[in-house]
């Protein structure tokens, strides 16, 4: 969607860090109407049966990259472009895709120039990076993307079986040899554990378990962009999307919830260990019931910089709310090799200094030790 400037007629774009649309030519700003309506959770089980219903979904025109598989919405006037995820030439053959409509989003807060600076500082902080990495990383520029995420809420009831370990101490007699070579008998305290079978039920309340719904970027890196200030989510408004691209989700809500259950496991098991008590805990089995399950489809802002180095794809991602930077990087094996050689020379130098003050009888030992190090 395009929004003309009321002053000069040029297209307005969302101004990061504000609630305004701004003209890049004359500076005119238009305030985005704000909704006071709370962001409502969708009933998970009831919604699964209605995923295809029109009232709960939206039909967008998307473009799919033939290399990395990313699907994103694009301006209808574009005839050719470059994929923002893998920097591959992109033929914008469009198709209609029906999906669950996003309910809320976090607007961009960090501007492109600041994101570019953060990217370059991150590259400068990398150890053993190639000398020309900064130049290569800037070739394809940086792109602002609204990426799809799911959030899940659930009250869980977990029945478990396990064992509680309680420590106790015993006195043990043993025989050893003293400094004079005599055999002597001594005692020592030995810790042992007594185990008891147990079972019980624990309860957890989960709020906004965040799951990336994109498969275009590494899942681990997307998770490491956290935390997000989800308390500042605002109702979905296409005004915020102007000037940016939006990716369609590829991980559906059902598969997304499976990932959410994985994220819930550690807190549940921690609660079980607390409930078992004692000095040690063993968990044999768990059975969890997920109650009052709800979810949201949301969009979160990410700056992405893709580039290729020695024909391999690397991507840097920046949380456009907090400035957190995560990414893939190449290594300079020349620098690593030189560092290893320098370390070996340093070690050998220390060995030589130690033995220089020794008698000639130790030179054979020095030679043998130096050979071992090399």
pLDDT digits (tens, 9 = 90+) for 270-328: 999 999 999 999 999 998 888 888 888 999 999 988 877 777 778 888 999 999 998 87
Give this prediction's pTM.
0.74
Residues 104 and 131: beta-carbon distance below 8 Å: no
347 or 279: which leads in pLDDT: 279
The model's confidence at residue 52, banded by pLDDT at 50, 70 and 90, is: very low
Q: What residues form DSSP beta bridges with 153?
A: 294
pLDDT of residue 230: 92
pLDDT of residue 219: 85
Residues 6+ apart with CB under 8 A from 104: 39, 233, 234, 235, 236, 296, 298, 299
| Region of residue 280 (left: phi > 0; alpha: psi -120 to 50; beta: else) | beta
pLDDT of residue 204: 92
Q: Is the per-residue pLDDT at 348 higher than 80?
A: no
53 or 329: which leads in pLDDT: 329
Phi, psi of 123 (to 5 degrees): -65, -40
Here the tokens at position 291 are: 């109650």
Signed CA dihedral, 115, 118, 122, 123: sign only? positive
Residues 242 and 2: beta-carbon distance below 8 Å: yes
Here the tokens at position 78 are: 């574009």
Separation between Cα atoms, residue 88 and residue 253, nearest integer Å:
28
pLDDT of residue 99: 79
Mean pLDDT score, 124-143: 70
Q: Angle, nearest 10°, between helix axes 363-373 and 333-356? A: 170
Separation between Cα atoms, residue 220 and residue 273, nearest integer Å:
27
Q: What residues form DSSP beta bridges with 168?
A: 192
Q: Is the per-residue pLDDT at 222 higher than 70?
A: yes
What is the pLDDT of the chain when averaged over all its residues?
Answer: 78
Mean pLDDT score, 69-96: 61
Q: Is the per-residue pLDDT at 77 higher than 50?
A: no
pLDDT of residue 216: 81
Here the tokens at position 245 are: 């691209």
Highest mean pLDDT pick, 17-31, 44-58, 189-203: 189-203
Q: Which of 106-110, 215-219, 327-331, 342-346 has the lowest mean pLDDT?
A: 327-331
Percent of the chain topping pLDDT 70: 66
Q: Is the per-residue pLDDT at 243 higher than 90?
A: no
Separation between Cα atoms, residue 28 and residue 284, nearest integer Å:
64
| Region of residue 317 (left: phi > 0; alpha: psi -120 to 50; beta: else) | beta
Other residues' Cβ atoms within 10 Å of the Cβ of residue 193:
13
Q: Which of 150-154, 306-310, 356-360 has the lowest mean pLDDT?
A: 356-360
Residues 154 and 42: beta-carbon distance below 8 Å: no
Here the tokens at position 16 are: 């990061």
1 or 233: which leads in pLDDT: 233
pLDDT of residue 127: 76
The model's confidence at residue 36, banded by pLDDT at 50, 70 and 90, is: very low
């Amino acid at each position: 969607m395009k929004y003309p400037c009321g002053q000069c007629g040029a297209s307005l774009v969302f101004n990061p860090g504000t609630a305004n649309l701004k003209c890049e030519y004359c500076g005119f700003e238009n305030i985005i109407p704000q909704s006071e309506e709370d962001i409502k959770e969708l009933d998970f089980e009831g919604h699964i049966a209605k995923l295809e219903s029109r009232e709960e979904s939206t039909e967008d025109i998307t473009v799919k990259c033939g290399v990395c598989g990313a699907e994103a919405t694009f301006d209808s006037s574009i005839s050719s472009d470059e994929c923002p995820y893998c920097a591959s030439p992109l033929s914008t053959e469009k198709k209609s895709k029906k999906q669950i409509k996003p309910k809320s989003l976090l607007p961009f807060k960090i501007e492109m120039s600041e994101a570019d600076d953060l990217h370059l500082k991150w590259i400068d902080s990398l150890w053993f990076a190639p000398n020309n990495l900064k130049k290569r990383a800037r070739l394809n520029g940086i792109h602002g993307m609204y990426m799809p995420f799911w959030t899940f809420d659930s009250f869980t009831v977990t029945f478990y079986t396990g064992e509680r370990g309680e420590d106790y101490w015993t006195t043990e007699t043993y025989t050893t040899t003293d400094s004079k070579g005599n055999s002597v008998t001594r005692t020592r305290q030995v810790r042992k554990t007594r185990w008891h079978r147990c079972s019980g039920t624990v309860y957890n309340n989960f709020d906004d378990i965040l799951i990336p719904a994109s498969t275009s970027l590494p899942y681990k890196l997307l998770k490491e962009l956290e935390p997000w200030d989800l308390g500042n989510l605002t109702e979905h408004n296409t005004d915020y999307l102007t000037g940016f691209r939006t990716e369609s989700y590829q991980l559906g809500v059902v598969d997304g919830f499976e990932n959410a259950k994985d994220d819930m496991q550690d807190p549940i098991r921690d609660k079980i260990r607390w409930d078992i008590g004692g000095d040690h805990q063993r968990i044999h089995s768990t059975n969890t019931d997920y109650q009052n399950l709800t979810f949201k489809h949301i969009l979160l802002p990410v700056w992405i910089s893709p580039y290729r180095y020695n024909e391999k794809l690397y991507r840097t991602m920046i949380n456009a709310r907090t400035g957190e930077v995560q990414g893939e990087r190449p290594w300079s094996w020349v620098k690593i090799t030189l560092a290893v050689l320098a370390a070996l020379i340093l070690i050998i130098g220390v060995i030589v200094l130690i033995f220089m003050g020794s008698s000639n009888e130790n030179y054979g030992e020095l030679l043998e030790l130096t050979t071992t190090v090399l």
